[in-house]
Structure 1
Amino acid sequence: MTHENTPLAGRIALVAGATRGAGRAIAVQLGAAGATVYVTGRTTRDKVSEVGRTTETIEETAELVTAAGGEGVAVPTDHLEPEQVRALVERIDRERGRLDVLVNDVWGGEHLIGSTFGKKTWEIGLDDGLRMLELGVRTHLITSHTALPLLTRHPGGLVVEVTDGTSAYNGTRYRENLFYDLAKNAPIRMAFGLAEELADSGGTAVSVSPGWLRSEQMLAHFGVTEDNWREATEKVPDFAVSESPVYVGRAVAALAADPDRARWNGQSLDSGRLAREYGFTDADGSRPDSWGFITAKETDPDVNVDDYR
């Protein structure tokens, strides 16, 4: 395999929150580009997190990274526990001596949002609302605070804050409820702030959003699989613009392999935009633009979804 096919050979990445969905796909695609990827999460073959899914584990993610051509290392970690994150970073330092890519993808709050969307702040259980902020904001802050001293030891590090929505979209629209809105806007602002702080060490920080993601949980919600996902469009036609996790995985891998990625510093990006920039496609060869479609439909209810795939 040539260096052209493995542009991240010798690079060390940490994907925080890599059990399933976007995090898993990002880890695998970084591995496919040759990186060594530490993958973390709370669901292992011996323990299940509050998400309640037993079908995906961090060990499996690590195996997929290795099968893709990289080296996957699974480290069970609760990113709300600073001492666990500290032990993780110390292990990476001890074993590799560097960290080149940090992907903050920790979330795991899907089980909290179904009954809260569209509700007013005072109608949502306070514990549930605050848990969203713990999972989507506090975890990212703990991880960045702990890992960035290692990442900045060498110039050119990359931080990717994974969220739901771009600054252009979220900045002018209310996202479902106050707690969710805060949880998904905070990573955008984190990337903006970290971009300022990393600039003098040659680092880059961005936020990246997938579009309508066909995660394992989303497929289960619609009662379909990745092989027959189009059957779900019979109930929700707009699902035709959805994308597989591979798409955002390729987006982050392309960013990490770009020697000129500093041009994106501080920006809010999405998989569709990065696909147009770097020329990659989703797993099925299409190039969906979920956010473009969602925005267009707000002014034209009859917009053709095929024009955005």
Structure 2
Amino acid sequence: MDTDAQHPETPARHTPARHASFPHTSDEPARPLAGRIALVTGATRGAGRAIARALGGAGAEVYCTGRSTGAARSDYGRPETVEETAGLVTAAGGIAHAEVVDHRRVEEITALVERIDAAHGRLDILVNDIGGEAYVEFDVPLWEYDLARGMQLFETGFLTHLLTSRAALGLLVRSPGGLVVEITDGTRTYNAAHFRSTVFLDLTKTAVDRLAFATGHELREHEGTAVSVTPGWLRSEMMLEGFGVTEDTWEAAARANRGRSDAVPPYAFAISESPALLARGIAALAADPERARWNTRSTSSYELARHYDLTDVDGSRPDTWRFMAALESQPVESIEIDDYR
């Protein structure tokens, strides 16, 4: 809900230099991120995979990290692999490196950064996308929450971001104009007024946003930018599978359940967005020569899409956080979701 109208400090909209697919015109390069080196953590699936692909498609050389490989799955137990992500980046016209890294382990992160340094001597874009959602136990009070699982959530969803930034920012600040994107859940405004279901989840997601705020202050003197970005209701592989729908069937299934409180998927799922909307916004942000205007700020996939004149794969622009605010004053059945898409 950090929109231009509600928050005057948010960067004013401008005539966008690029659009969703970065079309080539006589006034702009076809690959605006050509020559840039990017590191995307948690790139095995979901938002991280889409972001890596979008950055590569815009010309960046992308280091994609994850723990799930063709040889072994992580404890998420998902079939997606980091090698597959690298293949998608290559297919989009980018250069990709599949890196198996556990970002809870300092020595593995340090070794990765040293490899990037040896190969390029620079890092231009860091996207910290590891979320830890697989370890969430919703609506469980702190004193009943399994401590090992809670710490697993906090370490995976926040500590990975902190450790990776600590290891990588020394390389990133060697060149002016570096960008750090912290992917979280909820805008700063929304999270300041809402408890996010459990203490461990609440602290994890708000800490990620605060990390962007804090590192942005330290990067400023190096002409760097740090920003936290949240998607809306993300239609990830895990979410689609959990609701028993596909990218082709989710919308009809959700809309058919209007007025049915226990239906799966719920009617509210019709507000969801694909990972591409977030990815397109971040690629546009990275290509923006005036991206420093976003430094230390919290924004959303919707706000980036509106600012850079982007849409999701279906041509819509879901405003999830405004929709969430509407749910506080009226039942979901009375809301026309198309008014928020």
Alignment of 1:116-265 (within 5 A): 116-233=137-254, 234=257, 235=263, 236-265=266-295
Q: Does 1:87 align with 2:111?
A: yes
Question: Is the partner of 1:139 in helix, strand or coil?
Answer: helix
**Residue of structure 1 in register with 2:9 after alignment:** none
- Please say if 1:8 is aligned against 2:29: no
| From 44, 47, 55, the counterpart of 1:30 | 55
Instruction: Give the CA deviation at 1:5.
Output: 2.4
Higher gyration radius (CA): 2
Q: Write the distance in 2 (CA, Å) between the matches of 1:232 and 1:152.
A: 47
Task: Return the alpha-carbon distance in structure 1 between the equivalents of residues 304 and 322 of structure 2.
Answer: 13
Among 280, 284, 288, the residue aligned to 2:314: 284
**Over residues 5-46 of structure 1, what are the superposed CA-to-partner deviations in whole Å (9 max), with x where a residue is unaligned?**
210000000001100000000000101111100000100111
- Give the letter for the 1:305 counterpart: I
Q: Is the 8 A contact 2:133 2:157 kept in 1?
A: no
The aligned counterpart of 2:121 is 97
Residue 300 of structure 1 deviates from its aligned partner by 2.8
Structure 1 residue ranges, 4+ long, deviating more than 4 angstroms after superposition: none
Paired residue type of 2:315:
G
Aligned counterparts of 2:114 and 2:92: Cα–Cα separation in 1: 26
Residue 110 in 1 paired to residue 133 in 2?
yes
Structure 1 unaligned runs (5+)?
none
**Aligned position for 1:307:** 339
SS at match of 2:193: coil
Please report how far the alpha carbon of residue 303 of structure 1 lies from its aligned counterpart in structure 2 after TM superposition.
2.8
Read off the aligned partner of 2:330 and give its amino acid letter.
Answer: D
- Preserved CA contact (<8 Å) 1:99 1:150: yes
Shift of 1:295: 1.1
List alignment gaps of at least 5 residues for structure 2: 1-22, 258-262
Where is the helix percentage greater, Structure 1 or Structure 2? 1
- CA drift at 1:63: 0.7
How many residues are aligned here? 305
Identity of aligned residues (%): 57
Distance between the aligned counterparts of 2:148 and 2:107, measured in 1? 23
Return the alpha-carbon distance in structure 2 between the equivalents of residues 34 and 6 of structure 1: 5
Deviation at 1:305, TM superposition (A): 1.1
CA distance in 2, matches of 1:289, 1:269: 12
Partner Cα distance (2:215, 2:253) in 1: 39
TM-superposed CA distance for 1:123, in Å, is: 1.3
> TM-score, normalising length from structure 2?
0.88
